[in-house]
Every structure is written in structure tokens, then in C-alpha cells.
Amino acid sequence: MERAEALDFAKAALHNAGFDVSRMCTSRTSCFDFAARKEETLVFIKVIHNIRDVSRSDAVELKIVAKCLNCSSLIISDVNGEETLSNDTIY
């Protein structure tokens, strides 16, 4: 799945689950792509094709931002190197 398609899919899934979904963060490179909120639940989402392409600094930054704002973070990916990740699985 291409990244743009994965972003649209993730945003649609969250929206269908009752989340309000933000616009994409495009003003600069960011540790997350968009945010979603449902009542008191706030989530920062990063979508990336290959999980190995997530830099350590982005992962640490995402964790810090989420902790500071008392929210969750989620990284969505299709593959780990050459291996396709299983559907409906949290690693």
C-alpha cells in the first residue's frame, strides 16, 4: 500500500470510529502525521510504509510529545524490512 493510501485509510478508519481527525502536519517534518480525538482520548499518528524507516529520534520525539500532552501515539506500517506485517496485529 502506498503511503498516501495508508494515510487516507487510517484517517477514514479513525473517522468511522467516531474520532475527529486533524489536517495533515505538512508545515515541516514532524514525528507525527496527524492527530485524532474522541472525547478525552487524543492520539498522534505516524504512517510509514517500512517500520525500519522510523528514525530513533522521531520515535523518541513522538513518545515525548505524547507523554507531555497525556495522549497516545500510534505508528502504522505495512512492512518490516522485507517482511510484510500481519493485518489486524499490534506489535
Record the pTM.
0.82
Q: Which residue has the higher pLDDT, 38 or 83?
A: 38
In 17-88, alpha helices (H):
56-68
What tens digit of pLDDT does each residue of 61-72 get?
A: 999 999 999 999
Overall number of domains in the chain: 1
Cβ proximity of 44 and 74 under 8 Å: yes
- Domain holding 48, by residue range, is 3-84
Identify whether 89 is part of a domain.
no
Cβ proximity of 56 and 35 under 8 Å: no
Identify whether 90 is part of a domain.
no
Mean pLDDT on 31-39: 93
Lowest mean pLDDT among 20-24, 37-41, 83-87: 83-87
